[in-house]
Chain A
Amino acid sequence: MKKLSLTSSILILLAAGLIISSLFFPWWKMNFIAPQYPEGLNIIVYPDHLEGEIDIVNGLNHYIGMSEFSEENFPELNYLNYLIGGLAALTVLTAILRKKSVLYGLIGLFVIGGSVGVWDLHRWLKNFGTKLDPMAPIKVDPFIPPILGENTLANFVTHSMLQTGTYLVIAAFILLLIPLWKDRKR
């Protein structure tokens, strides 16, 4: 079996670059809008930290007994950038080895990583929305905020959306698929 073409190798290197750059961008965010917060509040998730009006969101969430969003509460934030860095390294390695089998392996890893990521985020959202403090002053039915899209809870409408980091990784994933097609005869 012949090696992957040089173009393919470059595409894979490019993918590695995109993955690295995704470390510096937010991956996901949830935006909260209420009548008295028309400007909106945000929880913005980076691979290694949170941004946005976290304290204000926490302050409001305690009324329904939701646990606090904080960097300490998400152990993932301590190692996620290493995982992503490692994935980038493996991508670089794939570009150097130029072996289709390795590329298949990498794509597999991507799929698994992505699925685990989605599952993890869903798990957290479910935890936050269903494990509400029974002592909370305002009782709401347990709920699971969606990973993508709109949700309404009391006076808040939330919008969850992917951010630049995730789009960069999706772009990287597409770049990894191109060689499979391009070098399908090899």
Chain B
Amino acid sequence: MKKWIPAAAGLVTGLMAATVFFADFSPGPTGEAAKDTANKSNAEKVYVPFGEKDDYYLFASGGHSGQMFIYGVPSMRHIRTVPVFSPDSATGYGFDTHSKEMMGGYTWGDLHHPAFSETDGDYDGKYMFATDVGNSRAAAMNLETFTVRDIINVPNTSGPHCAAFVTQNTEYMFLPTRFAVPIGSEYADLDDYSTKYRGVMSAVTFDQNKEKLNIAYQVALPPWSYDLSDAGKKMSADWAVMTTYNTEEATTNLEINASQADRDFIVLFNWKELEKMVADGQYDDVTGQKMIFPEKHKGGIYLVPVAKSPHGVDVTPDGTRFIASGKLAPAMTVFSFEKAFAAIEAQDFSGERNGIPIINYDSIVEREVNPENALGPLHTQFDDKGMAYTTMFITSEIVKWDPNTGETLDRVPVQYSPGHSVAAEGDTVAPDGKYLVALNKIAKDSYLSVGPSHPESMQLIDISGKMEVIQSAPVNPEPHYAQMIKADKIKTITVYPKDEKNPNATYEQDKTKIVRNGNKVDVYGIAMRSKFIFDSKAKRPDTIEVNEGDHVTIHLTNIDFDQDITHGFAINGYDLNIEVQPGQVNTVEFVADKAGTFPLYCTNFCSALHQEMTGYFLVKPKK
């Protein structure tokens, strides 16, 4: 036997033993980042085991999906997608009568900036508001059911990007516009832009009892683009601020032409004063709206010069300052409300633009803050100590700084190009100072590739100490802004309560019926595990038979008053699908314009015999 064999065998055995005893065969990522001990302890910060729930709800705007995405924080798990401005077959939204009517014939929307209803400047967890830049609408979502209850079309406006922001007791939600159009969106030559076009802002109210949105009045602001806004708090509660760009009034190639002036403006207005002007009749009746023309109906509106093309403007939690984020100017400008009020009182104006007084910049600015090499400041959130967190789009980072001194406190890189960020209750009078989520526009190589089209990316940052990114989560296109609310502020229901007064409701099997009146057929049916009953006395209770051309209305009640037992209702080939949540009564209306035999079935898996939950929709052909 060769001498080296025992030695080699010994070495191999030793290696094998070492592998068996010390190698890590556990599942999970195996890269260098995963081995980092700091990352391991970050993993513990975001892991929410089964049986526990997240601390916060994150409501992320879904951008041009027209939807709202609900996430849990800190797990960053996607919990639900709530359709708002776009139809959604998963929930039957846009198919049933109420939501179809709310859609108003539109099939998409561009949901930008969500805003919670507030009481005393703090989220009250009752409603969520959102605006549609795509088709100029506003929506109100009930947070007991996470369903949209009303959508309003906003006339004279095209693209309420600069919204929604609500006043501190939800008196108003203001919808300033991104695009200027002539009143009534009528035709007007672009050469007449400065005279005929307007950037109309709407003051929208919401009646919580009737769950109805309404336009209280509108303001025909100059034909500029209104970008972002915030309502005042506490001492500034009656006021609101919004940023503008394209005060150049360019009508083409805005990238260049709207970036020429060194200064654009922040519009500062007193909504209490505007409210009073409207009450006093100081408005014109235009297209059925009460329209304030600032050059004619003077008062309540002022301009504040600001470094060019600003994006966000955010009011500090104590309500004493507003901070503009430069976008094209690499600086945040801190203004004092107190000084602004004094300047207005003293008429300390440096001129006028489109009939609106311009407040003397030097009189009210506190400081310009310019963290070293931080480029593209877009939007600012706050923590419990009033410290500011600004997203830097171009340098891909979050900068924490002190509004009192302008001192840079901390910086953290994010991947990549954050637009907005959202801190836990970070735009209220009382931010929580726990988490901040960077809403990154570019995900690039962050996740498993799904081809050239990428998801967006949300990164969770622990802001309780030194800022640290502790989790990344892909998200569908595309969160522009979000709201983060303490979970216990939201009180959902699990089952719709019985409403014996609802004429469309049928709570008992033997009360189901099909009523025919000429060519109108009304079905009062029920869904239950695991059957449909449309007429309990019929030979086949789960069949609906109509004549071609009949106008069919199906009222369906889910009589399973049991958590998470949702039923769906679809008719093959008829392009419709609705949802009935536990205890809910829902209605779908259509014309039976296709003769033939069409199976109907439950689309939302409900029980062991869900597959059997079917029936037939028979349409007799015209003779």
On A, residues with C-beta under 8 Å from B are: 53, 55-56, 59-60, 63, 137
Kindly state the interface size class of chain B when it binds its partner: under 10
A53 to B529, CA, bound (A): 15
Mask of B558-571 contacts with A, CB within 8 angstroms, 1/0 = 01111000000000
For residue A36, which residue of chain B has the nearest CB? B564
For residue B582, which residue of chain A has the nearest CB? A56
Question: Distance in Å from the Cβ of B588 to the closest Cβ of chain A?
Answer: 24
A137 touches B609 (CB 8 A): yes
A63 to B608, CA, bound (A): 10
Question: Distance in Å from the Cβ of A93 to the closest Cβ of chain B?
Answer: 44
Prevailing SS type, chain B contact patch: loop
A59 touches B560 (CB 8 A): yes
A63 to B612, CA, bound (A): 12
Q: Does B528 have its Cβ within 8 Å of any Cβ on chain A?
A: yes
A59 touches B609 (CB 8 A): no
A56 touches B609 (CB 8 A): no
A59 touches B608 (CB 8 A): no
B609 touches A55 (CB 8 A): no
For residue A155, which residue of chain B has the nearest CB? B608
Prevailing SS type, chain A contact patch: helix
**CB < 8 Å: which of A56, A63, A137 contacts B561?**
A56
Mask of B515-543 contacts with A, CB within 8 angstroms, 1/0 = 00000000000001100000000000000
A53 to B528, CA, bound (A): 15
Mask of B492-534 contacts with A, CB within 8 angstroms, 1/0 = 0000000000000000000000000000000000001100000
B560 touches A56 (CB 8 A): yes
B562 touches A63 (CB 8 A): no
Residues of A within 8 A of B529 (CB): 59-60, 63
Residues of B within 8 A of A56 (CB): 560-562
For residue A53, which residue of chain B has the nearest CB? B562
For residue A41, which residue of chain B has the nearest CB? B562
Mask of B583-623 contacts with A, CB within 8 angstroms, 1/0 = 00000000000000000000000001100100000000000
A53 to B582, CA, bound (A): 14
Residues of B within 8 A of A59 (CB): 528-529, 560, 562
B608 touches A55 (CB 8 A): no
A55-B560, A56-B560, A59-B528 known, 11 other contacts, Cβ within 8 Å: A55-B561, A55-B562, A56-B561, A56-B562, A59-B529, A59-B560, A59-B562, A60-B529, A63-B529, A63-B609, A137-B612
Interface pairs A-B: 9 shortest CB-CB: A56-B562, A59-B529, A55-B561, A137-B609, A59-B560, A59-B528, A56-B561, A59-B562, A63-B609
For residue B531, which residue of chain A has the nearest CB? A62
Residues of A within 8 A of B612 (CB): 137
Q: List 18 A-B contacts (CB under 8 A).
A: A53-B562, A55-B559, A55-B560, A55-B561, A55-B562, A56-B560, A56-B561, A56-B562, A59-B528, A59-B529, A59-B560, A59-B562, A60-B529, A63-B529, A63-B608, A63-B609, A137-B609, A137-B612
Residues of B within 8 A of A137 (CB): 609, 612
